[in-house]
Amino acid sequence: MIDYHVHTRLCNHAHGTMEQYIGCAIDKGLSEICFLDHLTLNKQGRDLAMDPVAVPLYIYAARRLAEKYKNRIEVKVGMEVDYTPAHAEEASAILDRFSLDVIGGSVHFVDDENIVSSKNRNSTSSPNAGFYDHYLELLGKLLDYSGFDVICHLDVIKKFGNHPPARFFDKMDEILTRIKYHDLVVEINTSGLSHPAGAVYPAPEILRRCFEKKIPVTFGSDAHRPEQVGRAFQQATAILRNAGYRNLTGFNRRNRYEIPI
């Protein structure tokens, strides 16, 4: 089993050392772990992400640990880019300087609101239809940007229990068609099972559509603590198999390969 979405304390809201995350992955029998820490250039999220000047240190540390543990587990390193149109070129300029294994794309900000941060959430509010539409619009713009390998937590907009209306899933079908056209991978993110959403990202309905469109998938725990590595993967595997999948996707220097479930 693999975990391709693990954070570090460099992002300012995770805990534990990189070595502790690797140790937990080994204890749980994982064959690969990939650090995928935040690159956030939007000013509203800078305090919850890695400082861009720390990126070389982060990559060096991961590569050093990969060598140390090479006989026990494969350690990969990538970045999760918090996509905003205004900062896409700046993010690309940073990433182009480094040799990474995988680059994930996420939408965390809608109308300047951090939709994944409980600190910025008004617990009494419920998103209107336009909010969901804007989220999908930003996903579409993300797909116009050619710097990604994986689309992370595709329907994370439901994180706080506000599950999208039916028409959201209809519009998502167009997004999935474009994901297939750009030959991208969709992440099955198990963190949603620990959130008010109470479900993986994306929803099983979306996963079934991904399988119908032959979109490859990978696993990510979105771990922010070492013990969260590989969380709920047995449950996620059952969801994945029910959707029709029999393989996951791994990466090495942005070249991908299949891993049987």
The dotted CATH code for 2-260 is: 3.20.20.140
**Distance separating alpha carbons of residues 231 and 234, to the nearest angstrom:** 8
**Distance separating alpha carbons of residues 139 and 159, to the nearest angstrom:** 16
**Any residues with CB less than 8 A from the CB of 2 and at least 6 apart, and which?**
30, 31, 32, 33, 34, 218, 219, 248, 250, 259
Q: Exposure pattern of 218-247 as b/e (b: 16+ CB <10 Å)?
A: bbbbbbbbbebbbbbbeebbebbeebebee
Contact yes or no for 249/213 (Cβ under 8 A):
no
Q: Examine the pLDDT at 124 and tell me if it is beyond 50.
A: no
Q: What pLDDT, in 10s, does the model give residues 226-240? A: 999 999 999 999 999
Q: What pLDDT, in 10s, does the model give residues 35-80? A: 999 998 887 766 777 889 999 999 999 999 999 999 999 999 999 9
